[in-house]
Amino acid sequence: MTRLKDFPYNHILVLGLAKSGTAAARVLLQHGKKVRVNDQKAAANDSEVKKLKAMGADMILGSHPICVLDGIEIIVKNPGINYENPIIKEAVERQIPIITEIEIAAQLTDAPIIGITGSNGKTTTTTLTTEMLKKSNQAVKVAGNIGIVATEIAENLVENERLVLELSSFQLMGVDKFKPKIAVLLNIFKAHLDYHKTFENYKQAKFNIFKNQTEDDYLVYNANDKNIIAEVGKCKATKIPFSVKEQLANGAWMDENSIYFKDEKIMDRIDISLLGEHNYENILAAVAAAKLSGATNEGIRTVLSMFTGVKHRLQFVGNFHERLFYNDSKATNILATQKALSAFEQPVILLAGGLDRGNEFTDLLPYMKHVKALVLFGETANKLKEIGKKANIPVIRLTENVQSAVQIAFEISQQKDIILLSPACASWDQYRTFEERGDMFIQAVHTLV
């Protein structure tokens, strides 16, 4: 069995189960730790609850009593639990350390970790990097915010395998000793302010990805992002920039015709299959991380010539009745929808809406010149309707959900139109996850056949 490398705590509270909390609790119990689990939604007869209890966990379910902190040395917090939670606020007062499950994962392995974060593009870059290494005959596994629990992968890594982790700001707030061999910082824009409260807090969470790095590590970063440039000087790692605007002697870059790593041409841009100008930054970041990890140019070219995107991120669903349908359900913020709209020059029918986080959506206005109609749903439907009016969009329809939005979009569309789900909002007002929302879109599209 793998061993926790540097984890001196013996009395641990796992706050919130779901997949990551369950995995962390199980591993800690296997390593002889005393584990208390507190979850508000889990039931005593849930199969995972029964398994943890049989392993010796102290289960406190249904509420969050302050007494769960008694005797606790450290908290492993589910990333979705806000720091305004009374248990967390009391833990801060008591100076109890608070980490997330990625910290446990990192304790389980000596394998090189490539950690990837940013406000947008994480999943695409994580997938590209992983596939580039695979096509270069490198042993690699992927986990993290991409939907695979990091702990479950880390404890089963074999010799010479690498671990690629997609990391959210929620996960990175709980960093103690976590240190990727290669950290990738794609971009930083205002996002998740309902969780982080201030932009400064959000930025600092992202910067945690390199806070423990040393001179033996690498930071791959966006040389054109002013928020990142202002902070990278504090990083001790070897800095590898990427840029879509300038030639770089020590990083990944591109000109009108080709992409390069340092002074080496990798491939021609015309041979890249991935849709959208915004994806060039993701591609350059992935190229840098992959090259630093031993990827071959042939492996990189193979991936970039075939890869057309990840599910729910500007995913081409199909051509039905000569309308092109795209699923961008992972666009849970305004910036992601801006990038999606920028990818098209054809007429677009935009399906949008979701959880209301207080945004006014005015930043979408410059990107709506090709939008011929809006079909809106969720808590933000009326706010988006007002933006549509300001943009002089001639057709604006409100509906109940994604499924009915697909039918309406089809009815008002013409041949060669783009029908794009890019909500600009989180899904939690109507759907459990953005994946569920995207799957409902795909299912509805296929009913049109």
Could you tell me which of 218, 230, 226, 394 has the C-alpha nearest to residue 289? 218
Q: Residue 171 in 3-state DSSP?
A: helix
Residue 440 lies in a domain: yes
Written as six digits, the tokens of 229 are: 């440039």
Could you tell me which of 200, 195, 253 has the C-alpha nearest to residue 223? 253
Q: What is the Cα–Cα distance from 135 to 113, expressed in whole angstroms?
A: 18
Contact 415, 323 (CB under 8 A): yes
- CATH (domain of 373): 3.90.190.20
- Are 186 and 153 found together in one domain? yes
Q: For every one of its 449 residues, what pLDDT tens digit does the chain have, with 9 covering 90 and above? A: 467 888 999 999 999 998 999 999 999 999 999 999 999 989 999 999 999 999 999 999 999 999 999 999 999 999 889 898 999 999 999 999 999 999 999 999 999 999 999 998 898 999 999 999 999 999 999 999 888 899 999 999 988 999 999 999 999 998 999 999 999 999 998 777 777 889 999 999 999 999 999 999 999 999 999 999 999 999 999 999 999 999 999 999 999 999 999 999 999 999 998 877 778 999 999 999 999 999 999 999 999 999 988 788 888 888 888 999 999 999 999 989 998 999 888 999 999 999 998 888 999 999 999 999 999 999 999 999 999 999 999 999 999 999 999 999 999 999 999 999 999 999 999 999 999 999 999 999 999 86
Written as six digits, the tokens of 273 are: 């299959």
Could you tell me which of 436, 356, 373 has the C-alpha nearest to residue 402? 436
Residue 2 lies in a domain: no
- Are 120 and 147 found together in one domain? yes
- CA-to-CA separations, 297 to 64, 261, 264, 284, 302, in angstroms, rounded: 52, 10, 10, 13, 8
Split into its structural domains, the chain has a count of 3
Residue 340 lies in a domain: yes
Q: What is the Cα–Cα distance from 51 to 204, expressed in whole angstroms?
A: 37
Could you tell me which of 315, 423, 417 has the C-alpha nearest to residue 371? 417
- Are 168 and 110 found together in one domain? yes
- Are 54 and 146 found together in one domain? no
Looking at residue 6, its pLDDT comes to: 85
- Are 231 and 157 found together in one domain? yes
Q: Which residue type sits at 16?
A: G
Structural domain including 59 reads 11-99
Phi then psi for residue 421, to 5 deg, are -90, 110
Domain boundary among 34, 66, 99: 99
Q: What is the Cα–Cα distance from 242 to 228, expressed in whole angstroms?
A: 12
- CATH (domain of 300): 3.40.1190.10
CB count, 10 Å around CB of 396? 17
Looking at residue 193, its pLDDT comes to: 74
H or E element at residue 293: none
Residue 297 lies in a domain: yes
Longest dimension (CA), the chain: 65
Residue 5 lies in a domain: no
Looking at residue 2, its pLDDT comes to: 63
Domain boundary among 68, 99, 130: 99
Looking at residue 449, its pLDDT comes to: 65
Q: Where are the beta strands (DSSP E) in 46-200?
A: 58-61, 74-77, 98-99, 113-117, 140-144, 162-166, 182-185
Q: What is the Cα–Cα distance from 314 to 294, expressed in whole angstroms?
A: 29
In the sheet that holds 113-117, the strands lie side by side as 140-144, 162-166, 113-117, 182-185, 218-222, 238-243, 252-254, 258-261, 264-268
Contact 402, 375 (CB under 8 A): no
- Are 111 and 243 found together in one domain? yes
- Are 319 and 413 found together in one domain? yes
Would you mind telling me the total number of residues written for the chain in this entry?
449
Written as six digits, the tokens of 287 are: 């190229």
Could you tell me which of 26, 40, 32, 41 has the C-alpha nearest to residue 9? 32
Phi then psi for residue 205, to 5 deg, are -60, -45
Residue 4 lies in a domain: no
Contact 265, 243 (CB under 8 A): no
Looking at residue 77, its pLDDT comes to: 96
- Are 283 and 377 found together in one domain? no
Written as six digits, the tokens of 2 are: 């793998």
Q: What is the Cα–Cα distance from 47 to 14, expressed in whole angstroms?
A: 17
- Are 85 and 112 found together in one domain? no
Domain boundary among 306, 326, 346: 306
H or E element at residue 283: helix 279-292
Could you tell me which of 165, 178, 78, 182 has the C-alpha nearest to residue 122? 165
pTM: 0.80
Residue 6 lies in a domain: no
- CATH (domain of 85): 3.40.50.720
Q: What is the Cα–Cα distance from 136 to 299, expressed in whole angstroms?
A: 5
- Are 132 and 206 found together in one domain? yes
